Structure formats: C-alpha cells, structure tokens
Structure 1
Amino acid sequence: MRKVNMEKNLSLWYEQPASKWEEALPVGNGRLGAMVMGGVSREVIYLNEDSIWSGKPTDRINKDARNYLDEIRKLIRQGRIPEAEKLSLMALSGTPNSERSYETAGEFILEFDGVTDYKNYKRELNLETGCALVSYEADGIKYTREFIASFPDQIMAYHLKAEVGKLNFTARLDRCHNRLDEVWAETDEIGFRVESGTGIPFAVRVKARVTDGEVFTIGEHLVVKDASEVLLLIDIRTEFYCGDYDYTCGNARAYLKNDSLNSEDKAGSVINNVDYAAKKSWSDIFADHVSEFRRGFGTLSLRLGDDIVDRQCLPTDKRLQALKNGEKDPDLFALYFQYGRYLLFSSSRGKCLPANLQGIWNNSMTPPWDSKFTININAEMNYWIAESGNLSECHMPFFYFLKRVCDNGKKTAKEMYGCRGSVAHHNSDIYADTAPQDHYIPATFWVMGEAWMATHIWEHYLYTGDRDFLRNYFEIMSECVDFFEDFLIENELGELVTSPSVSPENVYIMEDGTRGCLCEGATMDIEILMELLNGYIDACEVLGVNDKAVGKVRKILERLPEIKIGKYGQIQEWLEDYDELEPGHRHISHLYGVYPGSSISYEKTPELMDAARVTLERRLANGGGHTGWSRAWIIGLWAHFLEGEKVYENLEALLCQGTFDNLMDNHPYGAGAVFQIDGNLGASAAILEMLVQCRDGYVKLLPALPKEFSEGSISGVCLRGGFELSMEWKDMKVTNWEITRRKSGNDHMTNDAGSKDERFSNTSNAGKGLTELTLLVNGEEQVLKL
C-alpha cells in the first residue's frame, strides 16, 4: 500500500490567550509537565513534576482487619449487610483512612514591559513537535515564544524572541502563595526549595541565557533588559528520584545545583540538567527534542474525512463550538484521537511514575480525588491506548509502578487477610500504597485493583512478544494468583467467590428495601479473575512453568460462578438479581468482560453479549455516561457491539458535553468541572476499537465505522502478535491494507480487493509466535503463511 501523508496539520490553535487553567496548553516529558497560558503582558506557566506529593510513606494496614474478617464474611452470608458494612468501616479501613495526594510544583510568572495593544495573536500546541507556541505583533514587532519539555535533556525550555525589537520582562516563581523554605536569585537564575512540609523535599530552578541584552536579579525576580532573544531553562527535582525510589538521599537544592553530588545519579541520568543544557544552543535543544518526540510519538497517523484543510483553517475552540452547533467535522475527531495519544506520551515516558488522574498536569495543592492512581478503572483506562496505539514504551511506567504495588501488597495480603500473594484495593499513591482508601463503602473494600493491573502484563506480551518482559513480570501474576487461591471462599453452591467485595462504585437494593454495597462475588470480580487466570495459564505455557501451577488455576476457573442474566435480560451486576440504586450509574463494571476484557463476545458467548447490550442500553436510558471516562468506556463497548452510529453519537456527546476548549476532558465535579485525563485516553482507545479489533482469533477492520467517517486512512496501528496495520477506506469499505511484522520490518501482506473482516489465527498459541494469518475476504477464507 502506498504510504500517504494522512494529517495535513496536527495542532490545536487559538486566537486568544487562555483565560483559565483549563484552557491552557499542556507539555510534558513524562517526569516534567507544564500548562502554558499564553498571556501577552502577563504570562503564567503552571509547573509540575510527577513525584511532588504530600506526606511520607506510612503503614496504613488496619491492625484489626484479620481478626474481624470471618465475622464480616458471616454477616454478608447472612444478608446482614448494614452490620457488615459498619464493622468493615471500623475493622478494614486504612488507618489513617487516606493515602497521599499529588501536588502542583508552582507557577512561573512573567511580566512584560510596554505591551498594551497587539494583533495577529496565535496560540498553538503542535502535536508533531510537542511544542507550545505563542506569536503576536505589538508596535510593529513580531514576538514569538516556544515552550518544550525535553526528554533528552530532562528540562523544560522556554525560548522567547523579538524579530526586530527587544524583550524586557521580569520573572518570578511562586507556589499557590504557599510558604517556601528558601528562595534564591543569583545573577542569571532564580529558584526555590520546599523541605519542611509534610511531603517529599524538592526544588525548582530557572536559568536564563540572553542575546544582545542583559540579565540580573532583584530580590526574588529575574530581570531581562533589551534582549533580542532569551532562553529560559527550567528543572524541578525531588528527593524521590535520587535513587531507586529512595526519597531520603539528600538536599534537593544540592541535587539541582550539583553542589555536593556526583555528575550522575544511580540511574545514569545527568543530575545537573540545567547547566548541562545551558551549554547547548536553543536550536540543538529543540532539534534533539523533536527528533526524540517524533521517533516515539509519530508512529501512528489517522485521517478521517476529506475536508481537512478547510476545517484546520478554523481555531480549535471555534471548531468545537461549530460541532456543538450541529456541524460535522470528522478531522476534529482525528485530532482529538491524536491529542489523547499525545497526553499519554507526555505524561508517561521513561523512568517516571505512571499517569495519574490528571496525567501530570495539576495546579492545586488539593486536587480532586487527590489526583491519585485510582485502580478500579481510571489508571487502567489510561493505558488502554498504549499497545494498539503504538505507544508500548509508554506502558512501562505503569509496570514499574505495579512492581512496587506488588511488593507492598504482599504485606497487605498477609496482615489484613492472612493470605499468601499480593493484593491492592481501589486506590494507590506515589508510595504504591495498597491498603483500603477512604471511608466509602461503595469502593473501599474491593480486592481486585492489583489483579486488574496485572492483566496488563499479558496484554503487553500479546502485542510485543517480549518474553524477557513476561519473565520479569510473571511473578506479579503469580502473586495475584496465590492471593486469590487463599482468599476465595465457597458459597452455598460450592462456587468460589470473593468476600467481602463490591461492584465499584454502585449500590444495590434488597427485596426488603435495604441498600447495600458489600457482597460476595460481584460479576466484575469474576470477569477480572477469568482474565487474570487465563492469562496466567497462557504465560505459564510460554515460560514453561510446571503443570502443577497451571492445574490449580484451572480448578479455580472451573469453580467460579457463571455470569448470570437477570430479570430485565441484563447481565447481573451481583450474584443476586438486585435492582440498582442508580440504574444510570457511571460505572458499568459488569461489562468489563465485553471490553476491555474478553470473556464475553459474539464469537464465544452470543447470549451473554445480547444481555450485555441490554445492560448498556438500560444504563444510558437512565442517564449513564455523564462523566468523561464513563462515556469513553461506553464508546468502546458500542464498538464491540458493532454499532458505528452509537459510537459516533457518544463520541460527539463526549466532545460537545465533556470537553474543554483545549480538548482536555471536562469531568463533572460538584458545582464545577475539572480535568481528568482518563476521558481523553479512554476515548482515543475506543476510536481505535471502532477501526480495528484484534481479539478472539480475529482482526476485524472497520467493525464499527460510523457513516460520518465513511472515508479515511490509518497507519501504524499495532496488532497482537507483533504486527502493524495500515489501511485506507472509502464509502465505508476498505480499499487497501498492509500488515507488517514489527520486528523485522520487511515482512508484509497487502490486499487491494476491499476486505472488511480479517481473521487473525492462533491467539491461544501467541507465545510460540504466529505462523499464519487467516483472512475472511468477501466471505472467502484466505490463509497467508508468515
């Protein structure tokens, strides 16, 4: 297939500065992040570093948990739910009940002299270079600003230029008017240190280089006079990264300024990043950044529609408003898709923490839900796009974190439940805490968090075929299996069930009107266990693990309850056919088996698939999908129900009702709305599911294509087995396609006959490598030898 330039101009742009944080433009390199407002006379850049969190690590395991576990289980079995929940709040809740919260690093504020009137303003985020740009004219002079977060140099760089005139401004650092332990200003740099608070000590440093001008400091201000060009280099360092997640290694300012440490830390990265980068020119810093950025991010292209150029001539906020007014703009959805990939690439790269509820971007000391790692869907959803979206390396911070979760979860499993193995509940934080979070019955006492995370291990292997990775992370799967072998109990039918558990984060109503959350064997628990245990069996086959381990897991699978269909024809959310307190609840937990899981499908369980559709329709009929991440999940589900128009209907609703002008997810929260990244990332993953599905032995092309996207092309989609797909389509039919083996890069198969549905054989033999690709083309089966 002939490669084409599928995207004419991949950028968000605006004709005015941002008026609030939620309109600013994000940049990031995994560890460092910033939101650029683009103000003319006053610019505010909000700074973030992913390891700035409140508090120190602490043992939160409730000392009485194990002593009361049997009594709680007995109360649940007897249907005495309010008593079980009251006792659980006292005996199982973490002590203290809350984990740590993610915090902002602060603000970088610039005040420009003499700028009153300006014209030809443009603010842009270029997704091809990872650069936020501002340009305008004032008094006949053109000014430009470029802001990047460089991964190669591990700094953020802000380049300002006046084409004919001069730049005059002052700059300072702040942090929500919070007390700082030290502020310094020395010749060409400013900075501050925070050490005496309750969190991890850190420091922020800004260094200036000027051309044809001067730079000096007054008080805490950096002053630039009569410069034609300025380069500001920014770094933020915490003591969390001084060693292998050892936050106790020394003074943060020394770490930044290299006063007392060696030139390299234990991980081999340059500590003194600012001074190192200051030896380079802006053009070299920018070139190195763009080269790395394009190499990692520019792996996948998507075109939707045929009027791309006309639409791209409009500012992004006006395009979004036009969509709300009923106009069609397929390319805006393609841009939104790539923006989701960009957000993951910018917040989860290299040796950093995984993307949290806000990725890496946060302007608060007390963000919503503490901006933690919510592992009853949100953290996992962040990574649904990683493998198929050709960002597999972005998945690695999730796995680095999972190892730490597993280590801590062993203590939690033993001390809370008297079990072997490892367990985590519905939340975690920078310290990979695994004890229950909050006094919130609908979510707190749920033991499936680490298990869900562990299913990503097998998924990563299926896409990459990386046996070394699988061998390295197999222990986590094994620890999860050991925990459930001990934790599961027999119900009255002799089935193995979780207890206590909940169906996140819903409430049921018993026949006598009693409301409850705690239960035995919620349906989602069964589905996650099926995914985990089947993945474990397949991993054992790949790695040659002994048959005894496989045998015990098969016996657990055989004794799990069957997924049931309830009185409305729906998938039951609980083992009992309860009514829900909120029929339109944001969580659709019991449809995990449809997507992202694989236990329910038209190929394997058509009756359950029909019931799952009824479930989704009932949720939506009662107001479901009112949060960004929930709507994103719904889009993915409709894709697996093969309903293209429903996919578009919900995509359009997400952009029109749940998206800020900067295309960040607008999450309802109290009286206002906040940014939450999972809506963006989950929707990007769902768009790929609309175009390509790779599971249950099939590769399906255009399985749920809406008529609004009847023409388009895509390149670089990853398939299980180590392949990449490119294809073009017109009038709702594939016109040509190409599949390439990722490792060798030269094996490929092509088809120009208009195939619609290709079957991918041998998923059960994925560990041994694919030997053939079975295609279904116009009803005829073709087998291609690989």
Structure 2
Amino acid sequence: MSGLELWYDRPAERWFEALPIGNGRIGGMVYGGVGTETIRLSESTAWSGAPSTTDVSPTALENLPRVRQLLFDGQAAEAQRLAEKHLTGRPTAFGTNLPLPRLRLDLPGGEVSEYRRSLDLVDGIVRVAYRQNGVHFVREVLASNPHGVLAVRLGADRPGAISCTAGLDDSVFPGICTTDGTAVMFRGQAVESLHSNGKQGTTVEIRARVEAEGGTVSRTGETVTVTGADAVVILVTIVTDWGGAFSIDRFDTIRAAHVGDHRALMGRVELELGPPVALPTDVRRERLARGERDDDLVALYFQYGRYLTMAGSRADSPLPLALQGVWNDGRASAMGWSNDFHLDINTQQNYWAAESGNLAECHAPLVRFVQRLAEAGRDTARTMYGADGWVAHTVTNAWGYSAPGSGIGWGLNVTGGIWIALQLWEHYEYQPDERYLRDEAYPVLREAALFMLSYLVPEPTHGWLVPGPAESPENWYLAPDGTPCSVAMGTTADRVFAEAILRICGQAAAILDVDADLRSRVEAARARLSPLRIGRHGQLQEWLEDYDEPDPAHRHTAHLVAVFPERQITPRRDPELARAAAVTIERRQQAAGWEQTEWVEANFAAFYARLLDGDRALTHVTRLIGDASEANLLSYSAGGIAGAPENIYSFDGNSGGAGAIAEMLLQSDGEEIELLPALPSQWRDGSVRGLRARGGFTVDLAWRDGKLHEVRIQADAGARTRVRYRDAVINFTGGQIHFAA
C-alpha cells in the first residue's frame, strides 16, 4: 500500500486545505503552519440541545385522516396547507454538533525550505517537515483510537532547537481556559441559540498536556511555553458528559499502538487503477478538474473515503458519523441545516464504504444509534400516527429526535427511519450472524415493519396499499391546478421502502424461524403495494400520479432508491424500468440550473454502477473529485444550493464516492456476486484486493485490457453463492475459488 498519501508543498491557509485525523470520536484538522501550527478540534458528542418530549405536533393525529382524504380527493393544495399547520415537528432543543477550540502552537518564524506536508493513509499520521535556520524540523500528528488521544510530536535534528507556546483558543461557545502544571485546559458547555435554546448542551473539558525532552517549561494563566527542548509532545484528551478519559502514556507507545490498530483496518483493501503521479495532491485535483486523466487519484480518493470512515466511526464510537463526520468546520452548525444526522440519504451515504470496503466494525456505532432511535420513535409512532412500531423522519440528533422536521417540503419524510434501519440488514448481509440478527437487528426491523403495516392505507381507485401522507424528500410536484405541493400519498420512495422493510422483515423472521403470523401479514401487504410506473416523459414516476416538478433540476431523486441502495429495479430483470431510471437522471442533469453537489455526484455514480454503465459512473466520480471536493479532497455541498451561503464540508461525498467506486468493481445481492459489473472503458488494467460481498465473501480481482484476468474469492464458513462475469455464471459452494485467465 505504498504511495497512499495526500501531500502538499505549502502549509494550509484555510480549513479546506488542512488534513483530517480522527479516532472515531475526536477529530482534528491539521494546518501544518510554520510560525503557527493550528489544529482545529472537534468531538462527536459536543452537542448543544437536550432530549425533548414535546417535538410532535399535538394536533397531528386528529388531522391525519383529513389530510389523507384531501389528497385522495385531489385537493392537494388544501392538504398541503393542513399538513404544514398540523403535521410538522416542533423542536425546541434540537441542537447541533459544535466545533471545539483550536489547539494553537506558536513557533519561531523565519524563512523555510524543503517544506512538505502529508497525510499517510496507511499509518494515519500527518507529517510536516521543513528546514529553517539550518535545522530540519519534523512534526507528527495522529489521533489514536487505542489511547483515545490526539498526539503531537515536534522534533528536530539539532538538540535544543524546539521552542513553542501552546494554548487553546477561538471557542464558539462559552468556556474558561486555564493551565494546570504543564497542561493547557478548557472547560465549557456546548450551547447555542440557533438550533437550541442557548441553555442546554454537553459539558466539554479539553486537556492538552505538554511534555518536553530537555529545555525549560513555563506557564501563564492560559498558555504553556517550552524553550530549547530536544522534542516536545502534546497529548490532547477530551471528556464530555458522554464519557472519555484523560490518558497519559509515552508518545512512542501511543504511536506504535495507533499504527498497528490503524493498519489492521486500512490494509485490508488495495486498489490499483493507474500509475502514480508525482505531483502535490491539490495540483492533481486541479488537473483532473480541467479534464486531465489521473486514474491513480481516483484510487486514492477511494482509499481516502475508507480512511475517513474508520477515522470517524469506530466500534467504540459513542455516536455515528454526523453530517460532517467527526470534523466540524463551524458552517453547518451556524446555518439552518444543523450539523446533525440527515435521514433522507446523507447518514446512510456516510456508511456506503463500510461493508463493501471491508470496514464492518465501523458500522457498529450506527447500529447502536438506530436501536436508540427506534426506542425514541415508538412514542412518535403512537402519538402522531396511532401506529404500532417506531418511526423517524428527515433529521435526528444525538438525543434521538424522531418527530418530523420543522418545515414543510422536507420535514415529512415518514420513511427516514426505515431507510436508516436498512443499514442494520446490510450489516447482516455482509456478515451473516444469526446472533446479531436475532438480538440486535431483528427487533428494530420488526418494529419498523409493524409501523409500515399500520401506516399503509388502501388507495381508492385501484385498491393498492399506499403509505402517506408524506413527502418525496426533498422535491415538490405541480398539482393538477398548477399549485406546487410536496405532501402526497404513495410516493415512489415510500413505496420502495415499504417493500424493502416488509420483505426484509419476512426474510429475517424466516431465518430465525419466528413470527409466522407476521410473515403472513407482510407477504399479503407486499402483494397489494402500488407498482413502479413510467411517466409520459419516459421517466420513472416519483409520485403515484404522473406529476411534473416546479424545479426540474432539483438535486433529490428519492424515487431512484429503487435502483440503489435497493434492487427493485435492475437492468437484467427490469430493462424498461431501468431505462426509465436512466431517463430520470438524464432529465435532471439536462435541466437548466441542475443542482450539482457532492452527495448527488456520489449518488449518480452509484446509480450508473447499478445500471451497469461504468463510463457514466466514472464521469460522476470524476466530477465529485474535481468539482465537488476541495484541495484536501474533502467533499462539499456547493454554496448557493439547499440554502448554503458558501461551500460547506459534508462527509457523504467522500464515503459515498468510495462506495460507488466499489460498486463499479463488485456487486452482490446475497444470491449472486458480479465481477467488474461497471468497469469503465478507460480502466484497461488494474486490480483490487479485499472487497467484501454480501453473503460473507472476500474478493480479489485483476483485469487486463478491460477483461477479467484473475479472481480469488474466499468464503466465510458455510457461505454459498453464484458468481457472474458478464453472461457467464457458476455456482460457488464455499471455501476458496481461484481463477486466472
């Protein structure tokens, strides 16, 4: 895995040039400065807000039947007005993840040469090296999961050459900076007034312990200064109400444990797509954006998505990846979005690289989070819908918010909870384990299915069972009278998730040999669901009726979940519907003002991979890297779209892009593994090692001149499947298979 690094020939001047490190809870953005080193700190549980029991509209349940009837009667505008008044959420202490103070190191200034700043993806270490006044300085920064610390070491090739002043400053929420011995400390409370009430939030305590080898150490009220040391180590620990500990150990011990732990996960997968390019990463990205080819940069981006997944979500993480992972640029939390958990694709997309990218452990915090969300969502299902089971909508927070969002047009996504619950099934599909299915996944999936069974109602014209009222997030349609509306019955996305949760609940119950009556109920309901339909433009219909949109260039294509992550439309089984899905994508892109942004590019790449069109998939991967990712390759939501006043970092493009690339090389559905299903024509030669497939398989592939050259498949105990390459299919009954052309 040599050469897996991002590197630059100058320090970062802004957040989108800094390099990310993380241990699954603590995040750091390292700038690599010469006169001043800045490390922007964040932590996944540094949340404003608090749990609340008053989020559901008290008039929702009594008005639900009226909204449904109005929609069935064709009175969409009146239904919209009533839904906005009675069905939206009422959050009072929702909150947001907030950025923490920065660690600032003031260093001697002066001219430098031979500067190099890098992030080694293999070791998970940021390195800064330069020559100044005849001395070669080397800095290493890492975030250790085993020790729970962020660690910095400053070294030089001349004794006594290290001097620096350390402090914690620039906090966005109230707190006090002090010193204690050789440690700089910050204690505050993560409160703010935009997304919460300005009074409630997590208590945060940061301790940056400064250790010097040689030299002298002194302190003021808020800083610690080291003069004339051979080396300096700074250990940053963060404790909140959610936990954490102040850890002390030698840097060499921390580093060795970190590297061993990091490599054990990162080294599982290797990808080669082209020769390396010996240029700084920001230069390579700019060249790709101009249309110059760099297949190795695509491979680097894939591995970067895996790196960020494991840096932001580990088995012991208290919370899963939020909108910005565990890194917080302060922008999402300072605007209407909130740096929270979006359940209408973004949080799901955050984990697209986990299972196929051989990082199953990274899924664990999301599994626990959904379990807690299901507990909170039971009350919402009962009080808002009079329904069994549990429900969650468009957004949620650290406290398990499950009511609709506060605004119409986006907040009434009734299947957001089902969508995120499918991640628990995906984890089982890749790592079949009946204990996990019985004890952790099935209770959540079962109650999500019970909600859907309660929520489905017969549509009067055909007798189809349809869910609603709900929105197709976050799009609108033109009602027959020309009124823009968002609330509808039987949106295609809700139909897809109804089919998914009922099917999966039935499968899981059959595997566990439980709930025979429930299995009968879900099969009967599945048989009555509305069909997927093709509209007059040749597109896949987004709604039960063939409506047009007031904004044909809208970024959301929620109905295409039938293609990905679901497989309710596949090119081989459903060629007409697959073509309709492709028409939908084409119409979106061709409309004036198409809202190109990071998660959309990753989403379209995944769609085209499932549609077996590798060249178009690669086009969107390339756009994701060149047009929707920054100098440090972090993806962003473009300013001017979805209310963003400027480019705002969003984790989902990095993870989603990595997942889409994996999907281009390997696809699986639990019954069949397909090799190189969407290989782009320009990737003539390459190889990948260690991808995972559903059913419990690890796959290595190599191809030459655009054709499969060699494959190795290792099965977990007792696993069986079919293996497809183009039109050739063989049965694989377990153990290991090796084929070489």
| Bucket of the pairwise TM-score, normalised by the shorter protein | over 0.9
The match for 1:677 among 644, 647, 651 is: 651
Work out the CA distance in 1 between the residues paired with 2:681 and 2:725.
21
Shift of residue 467, structure 1, vs aligned partner: 1.2
Work out the CA distance in 1 between the residues paired with 2:581 and 2:245.
55
Work out the CA distance in 2 between the residues paired with 1:470 and 1:239.
31
Q: Counterpart of 2:111?
A: 117
Assess if the C-alpha contact under 8 Å between 1:97 and 1:437 holds in 2.
no
Q: Counterpart of 2:395?
A: 427
Which secondary structure does the structure 2 equivalent of 1:302 belong to?
strand
The match for 2:305 among 340, 346, 365 is: 340
Output the TM-score relative to the length of structure 1: 0.88
- Per the alignment, do residues 97 and 574 of structure 1 end up closer, same or farther by CA in structure 2, a change over 3 Å counting? farther
Shift of residue 230, structure 1, vs aligned partner: 0.7
Work out the CA distance in 2 between the residues paired with 1:61 and 1:174.
39
- Structure 1 stretches of 5 or more lacking a match? 1-6, 242-270, 744-768
Shift of residue 55, structure 1, vs aligned partner: 1.6
Q: Counterpart of 2:438?
A: 471
Shift of residue 699, structure 1, vs aligned partner: 1.7
Q: In terms of mean alpha carbon deviation, does 425-434 or 89-98 score higher?
A: 89-98
| Pairing 1:208–2:210 present | yes
| Pairing 1:9–2:3 present | yes
- Per the alignment, do residues 231 and 696 of structure 1 end up closer, same or farther by CA in structure 2, a change over 3 Å counting? closer
Assess if the C-alpha contact under 8 Å between 2:51 and 2:400 holds in 1.
no
Shift of residue 363, structure 1, vs aligned partner: 3.2
| Pairing 1:168–2:163 present | yes
Shift of residue 80, structure 1, vs aligned partner: 2.4
Q: Counterpart of 1:446?
A: 413
Work out the CA distance in 2 between the residues paired with 1:126 and 1:225.
30
1:49-69 deviation digits (Å, cap 9, x = unpaired): 100111221121222211221
Work out the CA distance in 1 between the residues paired with 2:527 and 2:726.
38
Work out the CA distance in 2 between the residues paired with 1:722 and 1:774.
13
1:321-720 matches, within 5 Å, as 321-352=286-317, 353-364=319-330, 366-368=333-335, 369-439=337-407, 441-472=408-439, 473-492=441-460, 493-622=462-591, 624=594, 626-670=596-640, 671-695=645-669, 697-720=671-694
Assess if the C-alpha contact under 8 Å between 1:187 and 1:215 holds in 2.
no
The match for 1:105 among 97, 100, 109 is: 100
Work out the CA distance in 2 between the residues paired with 1:732 and 1:330.
14
Matched AA of 1:15: D
Work out the CA distance in 2 between the residues paired with 1:12 and 1:708.
24
- Structure 2 stretches of 5 or more lacking a match? 192-199, 735-741
Work out the CA distance in 2 between the residues paired with 1:151 and 1:784.
38
Shift of residue 297, structure 1, vs aligned partner: 2.0
1:743-773 deviation digits (Å, cap 9, x = unpaired): 5xxxxxxxxxxxxxxxxxxxxxxxxx534x4
Q: Counterpart of 2:197?
A: none
Work out the CA distance in 1 between the residues paired with 2:353 and 2:140.
28
Assess if the C-alpha contact under 8 Å between 1:149 and 1:157 holds in 2.
yes
Work out the CA distance in 1 between the residues paired with 2:639 and 2:732.
52
1:385-411 deviation digits (Å, cap 9, x = unpaired): 211110111111111100110000001
Work out the CA distance in 2 between the residues paired with 1:684 and 1:347.
15
Work out the CA distance in 2 between the residues paired with 1:642 and 1:665.
25
Work out the CA distance in 2 between the residues paired with 1:73 and 1:658.
40
Q: Counterpart of 2:77?
A: 82
Work out the CA distance in 2 between the residues paired with 1:398 and 1:140.
50
Which secondary structure does the structure 1 equivalent of 2:448 belong to?
helix
1:104-124 deviation digits (Å, cap 9, x = unpaired): 1211111113x2100111110
Work out the CA distance in 1 between the residues paired with 2:292 and 2:190.
54
Assess if the C-alpha contact under 8 Å between 1:446 and 1:500 holds in 2.
no
1:318-341 deviation digits (Å, cap 9, x = unpaired): 111222233211100000000011
Assess if the C-alpha contact under 8 Å between 2:166 and 2:223 holds in 1.
yes
Assess if the C-alpha contact under 8 Å between 2:50 and 2:94 holds in 1.
no
How much identity, in percent, do the aligned residues show?
Answer: 36
Matched AA of 1:131: I
Which secondary structure does the structure 2 equivalent of 1:136 belong to?
strand
Matched AA of 1:770: A
- Per the alignment, do residues 727 and 208 of structure 1 end up closer, same or farther by CA in structure 2, a change over 3 Å counting? same
- Per the alignment, do residues 445 and 731 of structure 1 end up closer, same or farther by CA in structure 2, a change over 3 Å counting? same
- Per the alignment, do residues 624 and 282 of structure 1 end up closer, same or farther by CA in structure 2, a change over 3 Å counting? same
Which secondary structure does the structure 2 equivalent of 1:147 belong to?
strand
Work out the CA distance in 1 between the residues paired with 2:180 and 2:670.
62
Work out the CA distance in 2 between the residues paired with 1:214 and 1:407.
54
Assess if the C-alpha contact under 8 Å between 1:625 and 1:631 holds in 2.
no
Matched AA of 1:691: L
Shift of residue 604, structure 1, vs aligned partner: 2.6
Q: Counterpart of 1:230?
A: 232
Q: Counterpart of 1:153?
A: 147
- Per the alignment, do residues 614 and 777 of structure 1 end up closer, same or farther by CA in structure 2, a change over 3 Å counting? closer
Work out the CA distance in 2 between the residues paired with 1:650 and 1:272.
43
Shift of residue 775, structure 1, vs aligned partner: 4.0
Work out the CA distance in 1 between the residues paired with 2:517 and 2:398.
36
Q: Counterpart of 1:770?
A: 719
Which secondary structure does the structure 2 equivalent of 1:63 belong to?
coil
Assess if the C-alpha contact under 8 Å between 1:192 and 1:205 holds in 2.
yes
Work out the CA distance in 2 between the residues paired with 1:284 and 1:695.
43
Assess if the C-alpha contact under 8 Å between 2:456 and 2:466 holds in 1.
yes
Which secondary structure does the structure 1 equivalent of 2:527 belong to?
helix
Work out the CA distance in 1 between the residues paired with 2:168 and 2:235.
13
Matched AA of 1:301: E
Which secondary structure does the structure 2 equivalent of 1:390 belong to?
coil
Matched AA of 2:442: F
1:509-528 deviation digits (Å, cap 9, x = unpaired): 12321111000010011111
Q: Counterpart of 2:737?
A: none
1:232-276 deviation digits (Å, cap 9, x = unpaired): 0001111123xxxxxxxxxxxxxxxxxxxxxxxxxxxxx54333x
Work out the CA distance in 1 between the residues paired with 2:385 and 2:664.
42
Matched AA of 2:296: D
Output the TM-score relative to the length of structure 2: 0.94
